[in-house]
Amino acid sequence: MVFSSPIFLACFLPVLLGIYALAPSRARNAVLLAGSLFFYAWGEPKAVLLMLALIGVNHAAGLAIARRLPPDGARPPRGARLALALGVAADLAALGTFKYASFLAQNLQALGLAVPDPGIALPIGVSFYVFQCVSYLADVYRRAIPAERSLPDFALYVSLFPQLVAGPIVRYASIRGEMRDRTLRADDAAEGLRRFGRGLAKKVLVADTLAKVADAAFPADLAALPQAFAWAGAFCYALQIFYDFSGYSDMAIGLGRVFGFRFPENFDHPYGSTSVREFWRRWHMTLSGWFRDYLYIPLGGSRRGAARTYLNLVLVFALCGLWHGASWCFVLWGLWHGLGLVGERLLARRAPSRQPLRLALHARGLGAVQGGDGGLRSGLRRALPQDPSPRQPGPSARVLLAGDGELHALRPPHGAGGPAPLLPRPGRAPDAPRPHLARLRGLLRALPRGLRLRDDLELLPLHLLPVLGRPGRSGAAWAARMSSGVNSAGQEVCQTCVTS
């Protein structure tokens, strides 16, 4: 069951809200716990057993840690450290078994080892509630919070349905007071429903629309895909994953507000960042905060010299990529961001009084590789056209930056005598025709008109629309081929990914 499905909007949410509003205050946690377990069991009836098992293990581990902590604030004894280690090991073992067992088996098979693939299905939301359990145990061990003695209340914290499937990652300390004492108020419910509606619009009206454009721009035959369309697809994919992910976060925050909880914000205009570091302070903030507090700082953070800092950054972001999915593409995605942070620090050290301009200019382009496997493949492999010429055996970063000249038209308009393009192509006149630009106009201007009306919706490439002008015939012809299900090479494309 997803938030945008009719069964959720028309049945589950109204019924649960009605029962929750009519229930007495002392019974609302029980109503919400039953509703959350039903919500999860609707799509994963067997996986709910794993969640219940981890709830029991972590609740017991938290109590064991609290009982062994000395009251005077001294260093925790061995018993507390052992309880913490066993609880975290159980969480990571469950995550590793259900999420990474098949990935490990496939890699061992690639090395020639006869290891069977277990084919274990990935439970929905396991990455999120496992991280919440780990943060709970670590905070109890650090004395940041007391252990929760009520098993139903702890079960509600882990299984709370608004943030269960796609975050944000909620720490127990942020909602501990609301677990015991919260009031159902009309203004909170109204604000929560408005936030939910905005997130639903992001998901259904924007993300799903951009997905059609992005998927239609990525046919299987890379040689038949003009570079301009590859760029358009990469931009649309970057926007798609932002609207999809932030839309779900908005819906979760809104639903939490309806039920009396204040969940932390998860996105803060990330594509407006001017550096890689700032980007990760704005993108999926609860995840980046989790990795900072529970992995980066325990590894030493930036307190043990520059080399150790760089190693910690690369390691943390490699694991961040692996958390997103069991694929080497996700690991490469994480390494890309980790190396970007390292490069930014190196440039800042070499020129402390100067903004690391090169990385800052490319900070927004990082959105093209968000989302791991799909983002990395769409933003890099598919955006870089394959050149069959033996003189250029493969794609390169220079192709993406300079390409064959079409993309230099994508710049703010200048009057007569205005500045030259930032990356002029050698040997090409400024007014030389660009054959694929008209098609790019048609593709981008085919997006819903409402996408160009709001400046607070993170529309990364759409500020280029005034420059592109009216669509040409070639753009209409290309859009017609995509809509008909046949690309420029005469091959069929996925009919679920194009408009009719």
The angle at the Cα of 320, spanning 52 to 324, to the nearest 5 degrees, equals 60
What's the CA gap between 304 and 35, in Å, rounded? 47
What's the CA gap between 255 and 91, in Å, rounded? 27
Sequence-distant (≥ 6) Cβ neighbours of residue 187 within 8 angstroms: none
DSSP structure class, residue 363: T
Instruction: Give burial (CB, 10 Å; 0-12/13-18/19+) of 478.
Output: buried
Backbone torsions φ then ψ of 125, nearest 5 degrees: 75, 5
Counting every residue, how long is the chain? Answer: 500
Q: Are 445 and 468 in contact (CB under 8 A)?
A: yes
SS3 144: coil
Which residue is catalytic, options 59, 284, 324, 436? Answer: 324
Q: Are 478 and 488 in contact (CB under 8 A)?
A: yes
Query: Which residue spans within 416-495 are E strands per DSSP?
Result: none
- Give residue 397's identity as a one-letter amino acid code: A
C-alpha pair distances (Å), 379 with each of 217, 218, 372: 12, 10, 10
DSSP structure class, residue 486: B
Structure tokens at 182: 């919260």
Q: Number of C-alpha atoms within 13 angstroms, CB side, residue 154?
A: 23
Q: Which residue has the tokens 């090479």?
A: 489
How would you classify residue 498: left for phi > 0, otherwise alpha for psi between -120 and 50, otherwise beta?
A: beta
The angle at the Cα of 439, spanning 434 to 442, to the nearest 5 degrees, equals 135
Structure tokens at 16: 């649960």
Q: 269 an active-site residue?
A: no
Sequence-distant (≥ 6) Cβ neighbours of residue 426 within 8 angstroms: none
**Catalytic residue numbers, as ranges:** 324
